Amino acid sequence: VPELLQPRRTTFVEPLMLCRRLGVELVLASETLQYTGSFKYRAARQVAATVPNDHVITASSGNFGQAIAFACQQAGKRCTVVMPATSSQVKIDNVRGYGATVDLVDTTQKQREERVAELAASEPGAYVASAYDDPLVIQGNSSLGREIAEWGRRFDIVVCPVGGAGLASGLLSGFRKLGYETRLIGAEPLMANDAARTLRSGQIEINEFEPQTLADGARTRSIGKHNWAVLQGSIDSIVEVPEERIREAVRLLFLEANLKSEPTGALSVAALLTQPEIFSGKSVLCVISGGNVEPALYASLIV
């Protein structure tokens, strides 16, 4: 396997105006400038570089699709990404731009997982990659935890978006490896609060439908089993964020940090807006997980 590009080191930003406004000693760790525009490249690279299979199949309408396509392209592996037929042309073009085959599925007729199972059955040599529920994903994402730990500052709290919890479990795993002590708080859309419910009940809770939150990276129906095994007893809490706070956070990052964030990426800052009493006066690191967002949607969020 050829050497794959190492993940770009995360971009640490100290947005002074935003610190003053929020009354928090705030640092951002932005993955918006990561290869393919989100932290997902960390996990995708790990999967593509590790599995022996020369074909990778995944279901993704978003960032993981681009990331695994790019990682497979470098590794000289075939890659098939199952996407909803309703996906935007930009997203389809991006995945194809990285050399993957896009398999469009009419999700009103067939679940994406079902289509992946069909493809896997017809291609028994392929690796079916999950965007989060895989030890390789956790291992790949742990590099971000390591970078934060090694940056040389102790944070009272680290906040990250939660969808399938690949990022949260990766961060915890990276912190553990380095013995880095901090409180990890997840930020999840209120209308997709399966992880918060999971934390309350102590067992994985599942949304009946994919919740149509603005934070499209958090539309997963539940967190993964491997992720839950890492999170249980270790994650501090989860803030449930109303949609309006997500909008506000995207706009604040634009105005006061010059950062283009996608709605999912802004969840962590949105958590600070939602429950300021948790964070007030503390030193806080917010992970901005990605920056890929349609121009028309973004324009509507900032104006």
206 binds a second copy (CB under 8 A): no
Q: Which 8-state DSSP code applies to residue 10? A: P
303 binds a second copy (CB under 8 A): yes
Nearer to a second copy, 6 or 280 (CB): 6
* Contact pick of 146, 176, 251, 282 for a second copy (by CB under 8 A): 251
183 binds a second copy (CB under 8 A): no
11 binds a second copy (CB under 8 A): yes
d(CA 161, CA 187): 5
d(CA 117, CA 74): 25
Contact segment (CB under 8 A) with a second copy among 57-65, 90-98, 220-228, 233-241 equals 90-98
3 binds a second copy (CB under 8 A): no
Number of residues that bind a second copy (CB under 8 A): 30
Taking the complex as a whole, the smallest distance from the CB of residue 300 to a second copy amounts, in Å, to 8
> Which residues does 300 contact at the CB level (< 8 Å), separation at least 6?
none
* Contact pick of 33, 104, 120, 190 for a second copy (by CB under 8 A): 33
Taking the complex as a whole, the smallest distance from the CB of residue 32 to a second copy amounts, in Å, to 5
Q: How far is CA 191 from CA 164, 219, 292, in A?
A: 15, 9, 21
Among 239, 228, 179, smallest CA distance to 203 is for 228
291 binds a second copy (CB under 8 A): yes
d(CA 138, CA 42): 9
* Contact pick of 1, 6, 16, 244 for a second copy (by CB under 8 A): 16
Taking the complex as a whole, the smallest distance from the CB of residue 260 to a second copy amounts, in Å, to 4
97 binds a second copy (CB under 8 A): yes
14 binds a second copy (CB under 8 A): yes
Q: Where are the alpha helices (DSSP H) in the chain?
A: 16-22, 40-50, 63-75, 89-97, 112-122, 135-150, 166-177, 194-201, 225-231, 243-257, 267-274, 276-279, 295-302
Q: Which 8-state DSSP code applies to residue 266? A: G
8 binds a second copy (CB under 8 A): yes
Q: Contacts with a second copy in 109-148 (CB under 8 A)?
A: none
Q: Which helix (H) or strand (E) holds 160?
A: strand 157-161
The answer to whether 149 and 174 have CB atoms below 8 angstroms apart is: yes
Contact segment (CB under 8 A) with a second copy among 134-142, 194-202, 206-214, 287-295 equals 287-295
The answer to whether 84 and 107 have CB atoms below 8 angstroms apart is: yes
Q: What residues make contact with a second copy under the rule CB under 8 A?
A: 8, 11, 13-14, 16-17, 32-33, 35, 37, 70, 90, 94, 97, 251, 254-255, 257-260, 291-292, 295-296, 298-300, 302-303
